[in-house]
């Protein structure tokens, strides 16, 4: 990350994750994939949809997993809509053509401004929508500098700005997965279940 703020969101995110897992950025780069808003460049593992935005790719990753745990610091309308679609599965595993492989277990810790959405004027609607999708929602009073998600054997980390997900990094790298799992566990341990409807 540069002092003048000129580093791209993808570069900032790679640096944040490398520092978090105490890894050399050069070593880590070969084991991760990153997509940035306005860019189609990725490295490392398969990129998913060729033209996916960070929010689209995050929704794809979550929709492909059987089990998801995540920490979300900000929830914008675009991300909420995409994740909602990826989690939209009925009791029989189907719902109007939505992918039946969507997560069977989802625990999401909302922190920062995302936590405020759970308790604000729209809170009951948001909590009910989450419950309808089988998401166990938790509210955390602190902040998180990034979104962190663990879906089965993949970790995803998102850099969030005022416009949503600016960059998304994902990997099956064990070191990053362990860090993501520990981060999610730490936030879950300090969070309270969001009250229903």
Distances in whole angstroms, Cα of residue 55 to Cα of each of 26, 45, 47, 70: 25, 18, 13, 14
Quote the pLDDT of residue 94: 44
Three state DSSP letters for 114-162: HHHHHHCCCHHHHHHHHHHCCEEEEECCCCCCCEEEEECCEEEEEEEEC
Quote the pLDDT of residue 38: 85
Q: Under 8 Å CB-to-CB from 19, ≥6 apart: which residues?
A: none
In percent, how much of the chain has pLDDT > 70? 76
| Cα dihedral value 167, 171, 173, 176, nearest 10 | 40
Give the number of other Cβ atoms within 10 Å of residue 107's Cβ.
Answer: 19
pLDDT lower than 50: segments of the chain: 1-4, 41, 44-49, 89-99, 101, 197
Instruction: Bin 74: left if φ > 0, else alpha if -120 < ψ < 50, else beta.
Output: beta
Pick the closest to residue 162 from 110, 96, 93, 112 (CA basis): 112
**What DSSP state is assigned to residue 95?**
S
Instruction: Bin 22: left if φ > 0, else alpha if -120 < ψ < 50, else beta.
Output: left
- CATH code of domain 28-37+53-88+104-193: 3.30.870.10
Distance between CA atoms of residues 161 and 166, nearest Å = 6
Distance between CA atoms of residues 35 and 29, nearest Å = 13
Quote the pLDDT of residue 3: 46
Domain ranges of the chain: 28-37+53-88+104-193
Tens of pLDDT, residue by residue over 33-47, are 999 998 754 554 444
């Amino acid at each position: 990350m540069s002092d003048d703020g000129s580093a791209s969101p993808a570069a900032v995110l790679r640096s944040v994750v490398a520092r978090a897992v105490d890894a050399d950025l050069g070593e880590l780069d070969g084991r991760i994939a990153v997509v940035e808003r306005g860019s189609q460049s990725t490295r490392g593992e398969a990129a998913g949809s060729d033209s996916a935005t960070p929010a689209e790719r995050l929704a794809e990753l979550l929709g492909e997993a059987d089990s998801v745990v995540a920490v979300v610091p900000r929830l914008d309308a675009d991300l909420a809509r995409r994740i909602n679609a990826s989690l939209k599965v009925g009791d029989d595993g189907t719902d109007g053509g939505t992918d039946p492989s969507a997560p069977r277990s989802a625990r999401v810790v909302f922190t920062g401004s995302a936590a405020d959405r759970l308790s604000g004027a729209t809170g009951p609607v948001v909590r009910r929508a989450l419950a309808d999708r089988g998401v166990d929602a938790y509210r955390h009073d602190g902040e998180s500098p990034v979104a962190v998600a663990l879906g089965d054997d993949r970790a995803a980390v998102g850099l969030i700005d005022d416009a949503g997900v600016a960059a998304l990094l994902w990997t099956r790298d064990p070191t990053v997965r362990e860090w993501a799992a520990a981060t999610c566990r730490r936030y879950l341990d300090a969070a309270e279940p969001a009250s229903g409807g």
